[in-house]
Structure 1
């Protein structure tokens, strides 16, 4: 059995991990790899397919194979963690840019998500999260104004959860989360550094106070190459 494609696969992974092939750059062409490894085009293609399947490269028709970012941040699924807290855990420089802060009347969809009336006032907060020099999360938050009466740009740049807990003295209790992969919207393309991706990972959060009041609905839209969504589970007996 021809195992040379596995040798090529492991060799390319080694070069990616060492930085010889940097993220967001193209691998040598198929023809160049055929000559480099002294093998057939079929063998090279099997190696490239395996690299693609395991998330090391993205094959782009007519252009070649682009190297993907393999260093991903752990994003806790089960925890209720603010971006400020998450960035401290990551130990990376971060920044939040507030793109929108206003009071709105919710449409039917939003009123349904927040379990409120269309006449109730809701804070709409749109923020772009930066890690290093990349825009990696688009957060679209909606808060019931009767629960969170005042918000400012500064509060939204720092931590809304910190403001809710320390200034408003409210206890945030728990959240329900729905995770899906969706096609990137024009808004995603405007605010996120998607590179060659056309999909985003969307985490919908329904966040409740300790008294079971639903006060927040969020769509947190993530670039697909920067996060691993992790959880811890224990079997109950």
Structure 2
């Protein structure tokens, strides 16, 4: 019975948010109010609210309550390493990956610079994938992997989760990434492989991904349609320590 009530709360409120009956910024009823409305425990309500927050429907603010998010935009984490498959499962929306290119090539000069490798001797895997969410191609990912670290990369693997393959099959200890975010004019490839509508610019997230031993093995350009994503991070101030920030020059 508790499970049915938990599901009922989640389904009813996610439905109201999806249909616009609850507008972005609307404050949700409190746990006590929902417990009375559904004649259930606060623990059951808390679990339903947690799932709504996990799937991007609401945002919980300590001591203030839960508020409806704008589901027209999807949170894309700046901090952490999250694959598209993991993100898709988290936001709970219909999605698919379209592989346009998956081939082993001599490393281009500009990519050699990004990967800090020898352009005259190195080979890299080049993978270009469009990411479709709810029928619209809103992300274009352009990945380059060092072939001495990733010797085999098939189109079948690229159509799923490359990170599942790298960590599960190759046992690569992927550790951290440096990310650079900018807004740039859309190029011909963006216009051809993405559903840009009338947007002339894209958000570009450049990722430099490292193994535990600090080896740089992957460079990615992730290009996003402007209206579909908000880029989020979490920061906590550490008192008593001097912090320095690096700025783009």
TM over 0.5: yes
Q: Partner residue of 1:197? A: 199
Q: Partner residue of 2:154? A: 152
How many residue pairs align between the two structures? 173
* Distance in 1 between residues matched to 2:92 and 2:229, nearest whole Å: 15
State which of 104, 119, 132 in structure 1 corresponds to 2:134: 132
Q: Partner residue of 1:88? A: 89
Q: Cα RMSD between the aligned structures?
A: 1.7
- What TM-score comes out, normalization by structure 2 length? 0.67
Q: Partner residue of 2:230? A: 228
Q: Partner residue of 1:208? A: 210
Contact kept in structure 2, 1:70 and 1:225, CA below 8 Å: no
- What TM-score comes out, normalization by structure 1 length? 0.71
Q: How does 1:1-237 map to 2 (within 5 A)?
A: 71-118=72-119, 119-237=121-239
**Cα deviation code 1:161-190 (max 9, x no counterpart):** 000000001110000000000000010000
- Could you say what secondary structure the match of 1:190 adopts? helix
- Could you say what secondary structure the match of 2:238 adopts? coil
- Could you say what secondary structure the match of 2:141 adopts? strand
* Distance in 1 between residues matched to 2:78 and 2:89, nearest whole Å: 17
**Cα deviation code 1:194-223 (max 9, x no counterpart):** 111100000000000111110000000000
Structure 1: which 4+ aligned runs deviate by more than 2 Å?
A: none
Structure 1 unaligned blocks of 5 or more: 1-16, 20-68
* Distance in 2 between residues matched to 1:18 and 1:84, nearest whole Å: 29
